[in-house]
């Protein structure tokens, strides 16, 4: 079993806690399903949010999904002029037998434009 990293992102329509919870939950669920993972395969998850998101911590959605014994951390994304607004990004470290090439990175909706090279 190797340690791998899975990337993902989602753009929120608005800065509201319930909406963030819904969108981040959808993103995490897609990452787990598309990579055939369970919460036991998770090592840690980093979340970043663009500076225009203030309503909640993205990690709160993970806790509501039952990801309770995995280290989580939230940070603010760099405030770059012209960057896509209202984006939550995820970097999950996992234990997996998949090769790097077989890891499925998940960019939902408009966030797919962020990494066209790896978005599924």
Q: Convert the pLDDT of each residue in 3-18 to its tens digit.
A: 999 999 999 999 999 9
Of 40-44, 46-50, 110-114, minimum mean pLDDT range = 110-114
pLDDT for 116 beyond 80: no
Domain limits at 48?
2-113
Answer yes or no: is 107 a known binding residue.
yes
Residues 6+ positions from 8 with CB-CB distance below 8 Å: 27, 28, 30, 31, 89, 90, 92, 105, 106, 107, 108
Answer yes or no: is 89 a known binding residue.
yes
pLDDT band at residue 118 under the 50/70/90 scheme: low
Residue 120 lies in a domain: no
Answer yes or no: is 4 a known binding residue.
no
Q: Per the structure, how many domains does the chain have?
A: 1
**Average pLDDT estimate for 77-94:** 97
**Average pLDDT estimate for 28-55:** 97
CATH of the domain at 44: 3.30.1330.40
Residue 70 lies in a domain: yes
Q: Convert the pLDDT of each residue in 102-115 to its tens digit.
A: 999 999 988 988 87
């Amino acid at each position: 079993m190797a340690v791998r990293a899975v990337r993902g992102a989602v753009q929120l329509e608005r800065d509201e806690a319930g909406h963030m919870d819904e969108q981040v939950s959808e993103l995490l669920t897609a990452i787990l399903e598309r990579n055939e993972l369970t919460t036991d395969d998770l090592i840690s998850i980093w979340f970043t949010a663009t500076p225009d998101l203030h309503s909640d911590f993205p990690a709160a959605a993970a806790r509501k999904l039952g990801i309770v014994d995995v280290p989580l951390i939230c940070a603010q994304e760099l405030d770059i002029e012209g960057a896509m607004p209202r984006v939550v990004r995820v970097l999950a470290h996992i234990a997996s037998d998949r090769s790097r090439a077989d890891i499925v990175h998940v960019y939902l909706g408009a966030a797919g434009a962020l990494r066209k090279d790896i978005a599924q």
